[in-house]
Structures are given as C-alpha cells and as structure tokens.
Amino acid sequence: MSHLRCAFAALLISLPLMLTMILPTKQQLTERRGMNSIQIVDRHGTVLREILSRRDATSRYVVLDEISPWLQQATLVGEDKRFFFHPGIDVLAIARSIFLNLQHGDIVTGGSTITQQLARNMLGSPPRTLVTKIIEACVALNIELKLSKPEILELYFNCAPYANQAYGIEAAAQLYFGKPSRDLSLAEAAYLAGLPRAPSMLDPYRYPDRALEQQHRILAELLECGIIDTQTYHDARSQPVILLPKENSFNAPHFCASILNDPDIRSLTPQVIRTTLDLPLQKRIEDILSNNIERLTGANATNAAAIVLDVRTMEVLAYMGSVDFFDVSIDGEVDGVSSLRQPGSALKPFMYAIALSNGATAATLLPDLPTHARTSGGDYTPRNYDEKYHGFVRLRTALACSYNIPAVRICEVYGPDLLLITLRKLGFRSLDKSPVHYGLGLTLGNGEVTLLELTRAFATFARGGQYMPERLFINSENSLAHGQSAQVFDGTVSYIISDILSDNSARSPAFGEYSPLNLPFFCAAKTGTSKDFRDNWCIGFTDAYVVGVWVGNFDGSPMNGVSGISGAGPIFRDIMLLLHQTRASRILPRPDDIIRCTVCSVSGLIASQDCEQALDEFFIRGTEPRTTCRHENHSRYNTYAEDIRNIMEHDRPLYIAFPDDGDIFKIDPVLRREYQQVSLQVHSKDPLKSATWYVDETLIARVDAPYTIRWRLEPGYHDIRVHAVASDDQKLGDTIRILVLR
C-alpha cells in the first residue's frame, strides 16, 4: 500500500513538469490557426458574413493595441483584478470563491483567472471535475511560463466565447454592434466584458436582461476601483445598448450564399475575402425593392430581385435575391438572381443583333401580320401583347415596341440554333437543351434563364459587343467568374441595338411616351413578361452600370396583369436614378462605321423630296439603302394589313399568306443551307380538311391544320402553289411566284 502512495505522490509531483513538456509551445499557443474564421467583406471592408472556423465559431484575431482600453479595463475588473500579480492561479480568488459557495450553498463563483479561462478554452471546455480543474491549473501555469501577461491577455481576448458562435472580441463587436473592437464605447465594452463568464446564460439575444445586469455589475466595479468617476458611471449606465438584430448581422445574404455555394471558394486562402459589393448601395436598393413590392401587393406580386454590375469592370455592386431573406411567407431564402425563370421578350435584342450581324438594318421592314410558327410542342400562332397586327414595321419599331410576330419571323430566317449558339456564347449556361426543344419560341423566352445571365449578357451591348464574366472580388486573382471574355457582336451592331433600346419615340406606340423607361439621361432598356404574368423583367444599361430586375412569386403563381413595364420597370427606374444621382450617363460613343441616312419611315428606303414621313436612321456602313422611295411604296405597306382582312372577309376564301407574290429572297453565304428556309403559310375563311403544297409542280407535303410547312431556299424563280379541300368539300387553291438570289 505504501508503494502505491509513493507512486501517486510521485505522479502528482511530476505532473506539472510532464504537462509542461507535452503542452503546446509558445509558437503553438500564439498561432491558434484553428480559431480563425473567414470574413466576407464588402468593397469598403464592412463585414457581410463570417464563415465558421473548424470549431464552428466566428473569430477575428486582433492585437491588444487595437482593442478598446475600456474593454481591457472592464474585463480585468470583472474577471481577474489581480491578473498582473498572480502566476496563473489566484489563491485568494479561489479561497474567496470557496467561502462564497459555502455561504450560498451553491456554486456562485469559480475563482478562475483569465489564464485559467484561456486554458479551459484551449482544452475544449471539458466538464468541471477535480481532475479537469487540476489539468486546467497545470495548463495555466504552462501558459504563464511561456507567455508574457500582455500576450496572455491578447490571446484571451481572441479566444474567449461571447455567445452565438462568436469567439474573440472582434467577432463579438462586429456581431452585436457592427463595429471593430477598438471603437467600443464604455457601455458597450462593459456589456461585452461580462459575456465570457457564462455565454449561454448571458446570451444577449435570448437573455438581454441578464446581459444588462452583468453590465451594470461591471460598471459598478469600475467605479469602485476608481477607474471611472461617478459622472462617467451614470453616463455609461444610462446609455442605451442597441444591439444589431440577429438577422441584420448577415448582410447581402443571397450574395454571400452565391460565393459560398461555388466550389471554387475552397481554393481561397485569405482570412478576409474582399468582395466587389457596395453595402451602402445594397441597402438603398433593398429599400427600393421593398417599397415597390408594397405597391404591387394588391396585384399578387410578393417578391423581387435585382442585380447591379459595373459596365467597365463587370464587378457586382449590388445583389438582392429577394425582398426579405428572412421572410418565410414569401420564400425569402430563394435567390431570384440565380433562379431559373422564363424571360419573355427580354431575349429579343439578341435575336435582332443576329439579324443586324447578317445584313439586316434598323430600317428593314418586317411583317407584323397573322402567321403560324412551328415549335417542338406543335404549331402555334404567335400574338402580340396588344392582340393587334401592325402591318409592315421597321426593325427598330419591332424591337422597341417588343412585337412578337416580327421576332418570330426573324427567328424563322436565322433559326433557333443560331440564337442558342449566340446565347451560350453570352454565358447562358442554363439553356442546356437542344434547338429543337426550344424551337422558334426561344426568341419569345420559352427557355428558362437566370437574372444574372440576362444582366451579364445585356452588358455586352454596353461594352461594344464584348462579353465579359462578372467579378465578385476586388482581387482579380480570386475571381469566381466562369469563362473568358469574348467579342460576340461587332461594336456597330451593339451600338444600333443600344440606340434602339434607348429610343423613347420608337417604343412610345407600345409603352407610351412617359413610361418608366423614359429617363432624363441615356439609358437602354428592355422589358419582358412571361406567360400568364408569372414573371416580369426589366434589364438595361447606361455607360456606367447594367441593372437587372425581376418581379414575381417564387411559388410560381401568376400576378394580376403585372407586366415588365408596370412591375419591374418602376424598380429599374428608381435604381437607375439612384445610381446616377451625381452624374448623368453619357451616350455611348458612335463607331466610325456607323453612318446616318434619311429614310422613309413607311418603306425603309431612301426618303425622296416628296416623302412626308422621313426620319434619320443609323446604318452599318455598306448596309444603307440604295433605292429611293416612291409614293406607290407607301400605299403598298400602309394598306397591306387591311387588304388581307378584306380578302379574308370578302374576295377570296383562301390565299397564300407568306411569302407574298413577287417576294425576293437572298441566300446567306455564311449560314448553313439547311437552316435557310421559309415558312409557307396559307389563310382561309373557313376550316380546311387538308392542304397540299407544290413548288414548281413538285409535291412538297400534305399537311393538316395549321397547314404550314418549311421549304429550303433554292436559287432561281419558283412557283409556289397550294391546293386545299374545304370542310364542305369545295376545292380551293392559290399560286404565287418568288425569286431566290444566290
């Protein structure tokens, strides 16, 4: 038995020495690598969010000189008055705690020094038993042997728990007050100084009264020790402690989530990730979204999203995924910037840019007349938003007024495959299905895209046709942008598209002269509305910014008649006015190869002296019209739609609606021949049993309703004939002749 006692005594005597040898070295103590979390900050350094460290805690190491002196004094007074005089264990404090605990019949104080608390934190806060207290004391002695008092205090402030997963005073100061620890007032310092004593019991969000009571105790001790005078005490005690709401400590939540969800974030090593976001701007735009959604609540529009990019650098300046991230009633956590939705007419500018790239001009006449189109879902008849036909319209008018039928006609000429290829060059990775799947409806927005993709693509027009991925970080080496910059459109094409989208006169017939898009400075914009008013959009740009806005419901329910011009449009306008408060935007510089010609607004040809409807139009050099308009051109284009109605109602029971007799087509030398087709269309007063198409007496096809086929262009003159059988067995037919140039 005596041998066991000797062995136990030897173990107790040697335990401190053994622990000193196996415990961390000074370098290991001061590194504390596992405690560092990663901060996501905005471009000004304001914390947006902290990524948890390996101990599931937020922390930010800060040197002692950068910690508020008030906090240092409050902590020493509240936790360890004799910190600078004991070797890590305060015998007097332990004796006092034993006396008080016996007096109260319960554990009311522990008597642990700051060094012991640091040791306990390093040990992972084990259960309080006699053995762990002995080990804790040994670790504290080890710390005192290897570190100076200021080093210990600094380490304590960077490791102490302040509740809500905030380890370290810097994380706590940012979490509760949104400021660095060096800027804490006396009242705030005393409030935080008491939290490490019992973080879960003094949690400011759960038990604010307890935390405030602890603050009052520490202020009283500061007064008792003579560190502060009576006036300072009363001033600090009367100062209200205003905590940041718990949810508000998480700024730009959707933006931060988009960074954290990217797999490339794992390669980032800095403890502070400085992003491109401008938080003050973000906050103001959040208010714009909230105010506008209140305006639309009666129309069943519950949510909105917006993004702002710098045109020159493509930096993301603002990113709002919803009106309120924390509102579960509107699915606020869903990110409207990255969610897939149908863009409606917002894709049309890219289809028209393809047309301009292949010889069309802003003065090219397009038929806005009854037509049938074929998609993967079957044949359908596209209709305009206003349920009207406008006859022959210039390309400028068709795009500015967002007429659907001319856009479908353009897509018929160049094919949805070419549009899809172009959109993918512009970063639309969400359009991952085949051209056949989308069909001609792609130009009207039947594919699902994201607000980020749309906004990024529109920036291409502002950048002279150059596509560039967005940037999320100030440091370009840490950019998570996908893909490389590329010249998708020529600068001349981009200029004309930008000019059309900023032309208030051109869009006035559809949207009115005083629509939300009519801004007091240069601004190109396009709206979009999906089927059944489920989504509406407004995307546009100036010389400095590109802005995208979406309005709708995340549950997919339709809004009550809210279109892009009435839903997203006013939000877009408010954001643009905010961005240009101090500087109006400048008109984009005109490329050298853009020339101005005076043309007839009816025929699109060079205006004659007798033309009363002349206007100036921009052309890419070499595409300007060479023919002068004659008066008979006016009558043809002005009365064409009315003639069709008369024919259908009075004169002919059946006729070929497209092409027109005498039309001239030209084969594109670049576009693949199998895609150079025309849609042969027929109109009849009464239903038909069937229709049979012939080209140059060669049978092409027998078709049912809507009796439309596609025929590949071949050089030369061609007679196109249709035979049909009406429902009353009457035989009908029509023949036209067209010319196809090589």
Q: Determine the residue type at 690.
A: S
Higher pLDDT, 348 or 5: 348
* Rounded Cα–Cα distance for residues 508 and 510 (Å): 5
pLDDT score at 190:
92
- On the question of pLDDT at 225 being above 60, the answer is yes
Question: Which phi and psi angles does 737 have, rounded to 5°?
Answer: -125, 135
Q: Nearest 5 degrees, angle CA 483-CA 338-CA 328? A: 160
Strand bridging mode 677-684 / 373-375 = unpaired
**What is the layout of strands, in order, in the sheet containing 316-320?**
316-320, 303-310, 545-552, 535-541, 524-529
User: Helix H segments across 160-262?
Assistant: 169-177, 186-193, 208-224, 230-238, 253-260
Distance of CA 212 to the CA centre of its chain: 40
pLDDT tens digits, 682-740: 877 677 888 899 998 888 888 877 777 888 888 888 999 998 888 777 888 888 888 88
- CATH 3.40.710.10 corresponds to the domain 288-579: yes
Q: Is the pLDDT of residue 626 over 50?
A: yes
Strands (E), 566-660: 594-600, 614-620, 654-658
Average pLDDT over residues 175-188: 91
CA distance 463 to 544: 10
Give the Cα separation of 530 and 346 in Å (integer): 9
Lookup: tokens for 90: 């305060």
**Which residue, among 544, 467, 462, has the nearest Cα to 499 in the 3D structure?**
462
pLDDT at residue 729, rounded to an integer: 79
- DSSP letter at 688 equals E
495's CB contacts (< 8 A; 6+ apart) are: 464, 588, 590, 591, 594, 618
Please answer whether residues 325 and 433 qualify as being in contact, where contact means their C-beta atoms are separated by less than 8 angstroms. no
Fold classification of 652-741 is Immunoglobulin-like (2.60.40)
**Model's pTM, two decimal places?**
0.69
Q: How far apart are CA 616 and CA 637, in angstroms?
A: 19
Q: For residue range 460-475, what is the model confidence (pLDDT) as tens digits?
A: 999 999 999 999 988 6
The chain-wide mean pLDDT, for the chain, equals 83
Which of 598, 242, 313 lies closest to 463 in space, CA to CA?
Answer: 313
Q: Is 180 helix (H, G, I), strand (E, B) or coil?
A: coil
Q: How confident is the model at residue 481 (pLDDT cuts 50, 70, 90)?
A: very low
What's the token pair of residue 11?
């173990």
Strand, helix or coil for residue 273: strand
| Average pLDDT for 474-482 | 52
Please write the tens of the pLDDT for every residue from 501-547.
Answer: 999 999 999 998 889 999 999 999 999 999 888 999 999 999 999 99
2-249 with 288-579: one CATH topology?
no
**Over the stretch 72-90, which tens digit does the pLDDT of each residue have?**
998 888 877 877 778 767 6
318-351 pLDDT, tens per residue?
A: 999 999 998 889 999 999 999 999 999 999 999 9
CATH T-level topology, domain 2-249? Penicillin binding protein transpeptidase fold (1.10.3810)
Non-local CB neighbours of 313 within 8 Å, separated by 6+ positions: 276, 471
Q: Which residues are bridge partners to 698 per DSSP?
A: 695
**Rounded distance between C-alpha atoms, residue 700 and residue 709, angstroms:** 9
List the chain domain ranges: 2-249, 288-579, 593-650, 652-741
